[in-house]
Structure 1
């Protein structure tokens, strides 16, 4: 998983082009500090990307010393000019016109907390270099978008919870016109939000985006039982507070219990989800509903006994308009029940027809860092999203064999004609076919077949997209197999476009695997897009499972 840190020279205080010494030294300082951040496996920029200078020889523009600093080599000017024509560098770590440069940060751990820490560290580091540069530095990549959306949700969850309490208190005041009766339900559900966060801490669950939405959700559900109990309590004001509470609990307690139980059962169905965050959500929500019921019938009655409300007379509670409205609705239903059911059924079917059109989308806002970075990269650098296909070569064949190159060409041709990544400039495709074998990784000591590569392969394999995997047999022999990666830079896809795009790719990969199965090749669809599509599909499956579980309960 990678984070891209990109800047443009035009309009800055430092440079007009990445070719200049000042720009390269700026990249060196930025890359040095990025290397030192936690959870960073390695970084890549124009400074340390390999540049082909001769057969079996590559050079880099800068060398890194023992302290991690980058120093330009004596022939850096010639190497910079050569770098702009290197397929691996152009529009990957530097734009073809040399006006935009960037650093690719590869993360070591994909766990939630380390990813959050490194993204926050990068976002804290960037302003210092923006001040030096005199223009904005853009940060993009799946980890950034994930962390930014989670941070926004955390902030919104807190702000919306406060707003929710204010609105609830305003409505309660309009209904009861009593300060104490307004405060009581708010105090009860406020204690619930604290309890839920304590449960999350005791269970050692990490705070995810879905768990951040749980406290406000439980507040909305739990407040209803409190209002039911208080309203029933006030119907027996001629009794003592203790007797009124017993009578109120007898009237509404069973209904509240079964409502809480069925709701908890519906959330508990999340426990069968493949997503850990959904399982944690289901467990915590079920426990939260249990705590809400206990609080409503223990904490709230205790407060009512200690300080009974000051409402006197039958007109103090504004139930008249509510009763009139309910009576009118029930009268209409009793008069024409068949018409009401038919009308409701037609409306329900009409609304259900829109379900297949639903899709998942994250709206960061037009002026957010995420969209600013995406737009800048698409206009000045390269497409910010990546799709990857991995090809495993059968034993006995090499990546530069004719059959393998023909397969790679077929994969690349597909993306040339794919609507989402086609020739309209939406993508850039890279694979081992685009650079020479001189950029390949060092050969295994036990194999020298790389020396016999035919001359035609001088335009074939490429380092970063070509690797060699090994497997050990029971008799101790080791088998090596080449693997290739086809990487496609593409534009941002919204939720409505993403699922069809992934489905088309899956169908294509399945077709290719059927065609090459007899030769021993294997093509796999990988990358962040596949993971996102898989997560979305699992969310859909969990939702339908939860709906079925709630209906059964």
Structure 2
């Protein structure tokens, strides 16, 4: 037996805590102040979560693309459909609206109607020049009507980029400075110029319904939503858990004490994020309310034990000593298994999950220390509980519930196993119906205006999620070779055939536009030059691109002329469709770009996120298996019995299978947010099993290995606390359904459902298993002395039972 976890060890800890009350409280206050000072170091995430490790091939390729062309997610689009835009009044309003934005240093350049440039042929100098599309000196109703017609009919280069010819939808572009697009300055820019108040004012004056989107805009409003929801979750978790706690205990001081403990835990969790300089992401944002939800069950077990002791003998000092010495190990073990469920995320290669796992597991252990220290010390200064505060220990509804559980176990043993097998089959069938999903916008808040705008751009311009294809010609200036341009054009034709992708843009579009310009802007000539035309048309292009920063090709070709990019945008599609699109594009790439002459890679935010989802799902499945193995080893160490490992795991794995089955039948896909459910729920649900089996072993010894009596006594003794904690956990995790993020809603509802199934499984299936295995486990040899005494033997209570 480990002496440091023996009964004498916990007696020693209890003595030290109660003798050093003032010193410990001062230490906690100082540490809380220290953790509060770390809040200033908290950082908010300014990009989507990168689910892949830094050295993963997909990340390496994406970073190589960024090195050549810079940040690709710097585009903000502002659009509308079938609105009276081409009028002198609205054009003036628009120029006033956009002028202030363009002056800001956060903007690299913009493509808008008032600064839209079109190519013109300079025959004298044999080059192309640009001139404004709108001549402000000629503005009139008639002139703008002509320009509107020209805009939609004579500029195929901008079709799919600035307008949808079929529907009449128009969008203009703002390109943010790449050096600040992923910094706090981006948020300041968005909230200053594109706030709801600014947009509403323009819409009211012009009668135009603006639609705003693009990655910088989406990221900013998404981050604002995450930050807003932290306060919502913490407040809702405090409200629901405090109400439930008071309903169970009917004591204001017990409720206030518990709330004070979890609030300190929340402060420490924020401090941990700041101390480690971690970002607040959609995952780490749920840690503070998780601390509240997981901390209250600790308070329930410890306060319940204190009140049971007071009711038994009425001695405060003895009761406080026993709160620590009798359930210290049990509380430590249950917190360790819960922390283990989160700690398994540390084993993944995802930085996002590592940070989540580290902060969550650390703060769960901090909670254990807070509860173990504060509750006994606080009650040592309080008067004894009144009789009304102990009434909950003999509530009629609890007696009725426990009696129902006991009768079910006694009379319907076969039915219990039949239902369990039926649910197991149901779950397995459902598992085979689950799909894997990976989308940047899938879990974004659908009730927000910016999500509606995303749908607008999906409908009119086939999405705002960038997909990039980078072509390495393996030689300087290889991009402008006739063969290369034709191959790029072939690939773009394939992209245009895919309905989930937008019209692609590359150097080919510019060369086609050059030919159209050479033939005096006739849109019928918007095509690649023939062999005969190449010499003189491309010479015009080369003569037009000698001024460095004014280089017309810099957005499509790198400075050496060796690398080209094709940019398209993707609708919000599932990973299955994405995989088929990728396969189709790769087949085309392999066919038209010989490996010995070209290196072609697909990349971009949408592509990286999709690959990251599959990678993460694989890692989280391994993480769940690791959690099961880790907790199994802990069970083996605790009970030293292979049969007890099996008995303890079955009631906790079944709820996971049921939940997975429900996901399959309800169409809830496996994605980063939902795959987290299983490790979290398993780590928490095992707590009930540990409490139940520890008490069961104690009852077996007290009842001279009479299994039936021991099982029923265990249900009566442990059932109340298991019910209380499970109800708190169920409603606590349910607060996440208040979220506007689909992933957070799924996480909260699925964990809550799993824990509800786990409570019923541990209160019904686990006792039934113990009764069915009576002959093989109800003996002293099978239940040899455990390595760690989880529930210290209570000799006085055993003596009372014997009498």
The correspondence of residues 93-132 of structure 1 with structure 2, limited to 5 A, is 93-94=162-163, 96=165, 100-108=170-178, 109-111=180-182, 113-124=184-195, 125-132=198-205
CA shift for structure 1 position 9: 8.2
- The answer to whether 1:389 aligns with 2:469 is yes
Does structure 2 conserve the Cα–Cα contact (< 8 Å) formed by 1:256 and 1:293?
yes
Alignment partners' CA distance in 1, 2:459 and 2:590:
39
1:552 to 604, 613, 629: 629
- The answer to whether 1:217 aligns with 2:290 is yes
Kindly provide the CA deviation profile for residues 378-404 of structure 1, in whole angstroms up to 9, marking residues without a partner as x: 566775444332222231663343421
1:543 to 601, 610, 620: 620
In structure 2, relative to structure 1, the CA distance for the partners of 1:358 and 1:101 (3 Å cut) is closer
Does structure 2 conserve the Cα–Cα contact (< 8 Å) formed by 1:57 and 1:438?
no
The structure with the largest alpha-carbon Rg is 2
The correspondence of residues 56-67 of structure 1 with structure 2, limited to 5 A, is 56-61=127-132
Does structure 2 conserve the Cα–Cα contact (< 8 Å) formed by 1:95 and 1:382?
no
Q: Which residue of 2 aligns with 1:327?
A: 406
Q: Which residue of 1 aligns with 2:597?
A: 520
Does structure 1 conserve the Cα–Cα contact (< 8 Å) formed by 2:556 and 2:564?
yes
Q: Which residue of 2 aligns with 1:284?
A: 359
Does structure 2 conserve the Cα–Cα contact (< 8 Å) formed by 1:509 and 1:524?
no
Does structure 2 conserve the Cα–Cα contact (< 8 Å) formed by 1:50 and 1:58?
no
Q: What SS does the corresponding residue of 2:564 show, helix, strand or coil?
A: strand
1:511 to 567, 587, 599: 587
2:114 to 21, 26, 47: 47
In structure 2, relative to structure 1, the CA distance for the partners of 1:519 and 1:316 (3 Å cut) is closer
Alignment partners' CA distance in 2, 1:328 and 1:23:
76
1:468 to 548, 552, 558: 558
In structure 2, relative to structure 1, the CA distance for the partners of 1:240 and 1:521 (3 Å cut) is same
Does structure 1 conserve the Cα–Cα contact (< 8 Å) formed by 2:128 and 2:540?
no
Worse-matched range after superposition: 72-81 or 118-127: 72-81
Q: What SS does the corresponding residue of 2:377 show, helix, strand or coil?
A: helix
CA shift for structure 1 position 547: 1.5
CA shift for structure 1 position 364: 2.9
CA shift for structure 1 position 225: 1.3
CA shift for structure 1 position 52: 0.7
Alignment partners' CA distance in 1, 2:190 and 2:603:
23
Kindly provide the CA deviation profile for residues 230-280 of structure 1, in whole angstroms up to 9, marking residues without a partner as x: 111111112423321221223322122122223223323323444433222
- The answer to whether 1:305 aligns with 2:386 is no
Q: Which residue of 2 aligns with 1:399?
A: 479
Kindly provide the CA deviation profile for residues 397-438 of structure 1, in whole angstroms up to 9, marking residues without a partner as x: 6334342133223312322333534xxxxx323333333378
Q: What SS does the corresponding residue of 2:280 show, helix, strand or coil?
A: coil
CA shift for structure 1 position 309: 5.5
Compute the RMSD of aligned alpha carbons: 3.7
CA shift for structure 1 position 552: 2.8
Kindly provide the CA deviation profile for residues 318-348 of structure 1, in whole angstroms up to 9, marking residues without a partner as x: 3423432443354368677864663453344
Q: What SS does the corresponding residue of 1:390 show, helix, strand or coil?
A: strand
CA shift for structure 1 position 523: 1.6
Worse-matched range after superposition: 249-258 or 264-273: 264-273
In structure 2, relative to structure 1, the CA distance for the partners of 1:328 and 1:164 (3 Å cut) is farther
Q: What SS does the corresponding residue of 1:213 show, helix, strand or coil?
A: helix
CA shift for structure 1 position 227: 0.7
Alignment partners' CA distance in 2, 1:57 and 1:411:
27
2:333 to 230, 250, 258: 258
RCO higher in 1 or 2 (8 Å CA, sep ≥ 6)? 2
CA shift for structure 1 position 303: 1.9
Q: Which residue of 2 aligns with 1:165?
A: 238
CA shift for structure 1 position 51: 1.0
The correspondence of residues 142-157 of structure 1 with structure 2, limited to 5 A, is 142-157=215-230
In structure 2, relative to structure 1, the CA distance for the partners of 1:209 and 1:95 (3 Å cut) is same
Does structure 2 conserve the Cα–Cα contact (< 8 Å) formed by 1:509 and 1:523?
no
Q: TM-score normalised to the size of structure 1?
A: 0.79
In structure 2, relative to structure 1, the CA distance for the partners of 1:219 and 1:354 (3 Å cut) is farther
How many residue pairs match? The answer is: 509
Higher strand content, 1 or 2: 1
CA shift for structure 1 position 293: 0.6
2:432 to 327, 338, 353: 353
Q: Which residue of 2 aligns with 1:66?
A: none
Q: What SS does the corresponding residue of 1:235 show, helix, strand or coil?
A: helix
Alignment partners' CA distance in 1, 2:626 and 2:103:
49
Q: Which residue of 1 aligns with 2:578?
A: 502
In structure 2, relative to structure 1, the CA distance for the partners of 1:23 and 1:344 (3 Å cut) is closer
Alignment partners' CA distance in 1, 2:627 and 2:193:
43
Q: What SS does the corresponding residue of 1:163 show, helix, strand or coil?
A: helix
2:565 to 466, 478, 485: 485
Alignment partners' CA distance in 2, 1:53 and 1:269:
62
Higher helix content, 1 or 2: 2
Structure 2 unaligned spans of 5+: 1-72, 516-532, 543-551, 631-803
- The answer to whether 1:249 aligns with 2:316 is no
CA shift for structure 1 position 294: 0.8
CA shift for structure 1 position 197: 1.4
